[in-house]
Structure 1
Amino acid sequence: MTLSHDVAGDGPALVLLHSGVCDRRMWDPQWAALLDAGYRVIRCDFRGFGRSPMPDRPYNNADDVADLLGHLGVERAALVGSSFGGRVALEVAARWPDTVTTLALLCSGSPELVPGPALRSFAEQEDALLSAGDVDAAVELNLATFLGPEADGATRENVRLMQRHAFDVQMAGGEEFGQIAAEIDLSAITATCLAVSGGRDLPEFREIAAGLPGLLPRARHVELPWAAHLPSLERPAEVTALLLDFLRASD
């Protein structure tokens, strides 16, 4: 199965990977600016999000992204990943280092993430609400956890719709198939990397971003004091400018 996706523009390939709270529509605020900057911009929905259906067999998200790049004839690409999308981007860059030129990671997860008290507490609350059938409350828990005060009302409503849709797709998906684990060595990554953290984010994600320069020789860390977990939605123009400055410097 090829992931549902959008592709537009000419020039170097730039792949946008969404967070686990959203789908590919989260990149709407960046889409036009990245096209205007001269990139061939690609964004996709992971399985069970947006317009990509639930899997019908065991799968791997990084394999899905690599298959999409092959389908589109992309041999080299920059990856921008938000949260869970950042975790997938790191796996792609580690397994296929010659494919990934540049990594921009916004409050990224990691294949090496060990959940601490804050993330475990969130997961337990979410599981309890979904088990009780209170999907609306689970959606609101995600908004309260992952969006900071910079997010306006329209942004909150958009995230609410994306998260609710993901829950609906996943809960209606029938038999659940698990991820195929792949061997991942982050030290294999050769791409230039920008690791962004949010000063209002959960501590686990801040620690991942701060630790990446110690793992990747071409990584640097930037913290946005105002940001929670989804800075590209909280201050879209500021984050778009940050991404473009980094991408241009890395070309």
Structure 2
Amino acid sequence: MTLAYDAAGDGPALVLLHSAVCDRRMWDPQWPALVDAGYRVVRCDFRGFGRTPLPDRPHNDAEDVLGLLDALGIEEAALIASSYGGRVAVELAARRPDRVSAMALLCAGLPGHEPTDELRAFGEREDALLEAGDIAGAVKLNVDTWLGPDADETTREKVRAMQRHAFEVQLAAPEGAGRSEAGIDLSAIKAPCLALSGGHDMVDFRQIGAQLPGLLADTRYLELPWAGHLPSLERPAEVTDLLIGFLCETVPADSA
């Protein structure tokens, strides 16, 4: 099965991985700037998000992304990944370090992270709303939780639409659908990494970001004091500049 994706541009390959609150449309603000900066940019929808349906069996998102790279003839790519997409990026980079040239992780999850009481309570509240059939309430909970104070109403509406669609697809999923994960060795990751977190984000993701320089070989950590969990949507121009600056240092394009 092929993931739904967009691809444009020429130059070093760059793959954008979305958060579990969104789908590949979350990268709309960055997409043209990254193409114009001289990169071959690919963005995809994980299974159960956007235009990629869920199968009737367990799947692994990192394997799906590797399969997409193979289908596009991309041997090595830089990864820009948000939240759950960051978790996928880390797994992919650990399993196949030869395929990842650099990583920018925005408020990333991390395989094996033990959730705090705050994150666990959020998950329980979300589950309760969905079990009660209150999709609108679950959408509101996510928008209120994950977007920081700088997100305008247009951005909030965009996230509402993406999250609602994901819930609708996932709640209608066939029996047997679900994600699987493989055990990984973080010491296998060699790609240079930029880790960003948000000062208004849940403590789990600030802790993960601060820990990454001690876990990965070549990582720079930066907390954005103004940001919530989705900084690329909250202050898109500022985050785009950070990302392009990092890429110019690590995988420069001919036009950079």
- Could you say which TM-score interval applies, normalised by the shorter chain? over 0.9
Query: Which residue pairs with 1:107 in the alignment?
Result: 107
Q: Which amino acid aligns with 2:230?
A: L
Alignment of 1:18-97 (within 5 A): 18-97=18-97
One-letter amino acid of the counterpart of residue 239, structure 2: V
Give the TM-score of the pair, scaled to structure 2.
0.97
CA distance in structure 2 between the aligned counterparts of 1:107 and 1:125, rounded to whole angstroms? 21
Question: How far has the Cα of 1:179 moved from its partner?
Answer: 2.3
Distance in structure 2 (CA, Å) of the matches to 1:102 and 1:4 = 23
Per-residue CA deviations over 1:24-60 (Å, capped at 9, x if unaligned) read 0000000000000000000000000000001222210
Is residue 234 of structure 1 aligned with residue 234 of structure 2?
A: yes
Partners of 2:121 and 2:180 lie apart in 1 by: 26
For 1:142 and 1:55, how far apart are their aligned partners in 2? Answer: 25
Post-superposition offset of 1:112:
2.0
2:213: which partner in 1? 213
The separation in 1 between residues aligned to 2:76 and 2:88, in whole angstroms, is: 16
After TM superposition, the structure 1 = structure 2 runs for residues 47-196 of structure 1, keeping only pairs within 5 Å, are 47-196=47-196
Are the counterparts in 1 of residues 56 and 174 from structure 2 also a CA contact under 8 Å? no
Distance 1:52 1:83 in 2: 19
Counterpart of 1:14 in structure 2 is 14
Q: Which piece of structure 1 moves more, 89-98 or 171-180?
A: 171-180
Measured after TM superposition, the shift of residue 180 of structure 1 is 2.7
Using the TM superposition, give the Cα deviation of residue 182 of structure 1 relative to its aligned residue in structure 2, in angstroms: 1.0
Q: Secondary structure at the match of 1:98?
A: helix
The Cα shift of 1:145 comes to 0.5
Retained in 1: the 8 A contact 2:197–2:224?
yes
Give deviations 1:32-91, integer Å, cap 9, x for gaps.
000000000000000000000012222100000000000000001000000000000000
Deviation at 1:169, TM superposition (A): 0.5
Cα separation, 1, equivalents of 2:135 and 2:217: 42
What SS does the aligned partner of 2:58 have?
coil
Q: Which amino acid aligns with 1:192?
A: P
Greater CA deviation, 216-225 or 179-188? 179-188
Partner of residue 254, structure 2:
none
DSSP-derived class of the 1:29 partner: coil
Q: Which residue of 2 aligns with 1:248?
A: 248
**What CA RMSD, in Å, does the superposition of the two structures yield over aligned residues?**
0.7
| d(CA) in 1 for partners of 2:180, 2:173 | 18
User: Following the alignment from structure 1 to structure 2, what is the Cα–Cα distance between the partners of residues 170 and 115?
Assistant: 22
Deviations for 1:211-243, whole angstroms, at most 9, x for unmatched residues?
A: 000011200100000000000000000000000
Amino acid at match of 2:22: C
Letter in 2 for 1:11: G
Aligned partner of 2:223 in structure 1 is 223
Q: Secondary structure, in 3 states, of the residue corresponding to 1:52?
A: coil
Find the aligned partners of 2:127 and 2:176 in 1 and give their Cα distance.
16
Find the aligned partners of 2:161 and 2:173 in 1 and give their Cα distance.
Answer: 18
How far is 1:183 from its partner? 1.9
Distance across 2 between alignment mates of 1:150 and 1:143: 13
Residue in structure 2 matched with residue 3 of structure 1 by the alignment: 3
Unaligned runs of 5+ in 2: 252-256
Tell me how far apart the structure 1 counterparts of residues 181 and 153 of structure 2 sit (CA, whole Å).
Answer: 38
2:10, 2:181 → 1: CA distance?
A: 34
Q: State how many pairs are aligned.
A: 251
Q: TM-score, normalised by structure 1?
A: 0.99
Aligned counterparts of 1:154 and 1:232: Cα–Cα separation in 2: 14
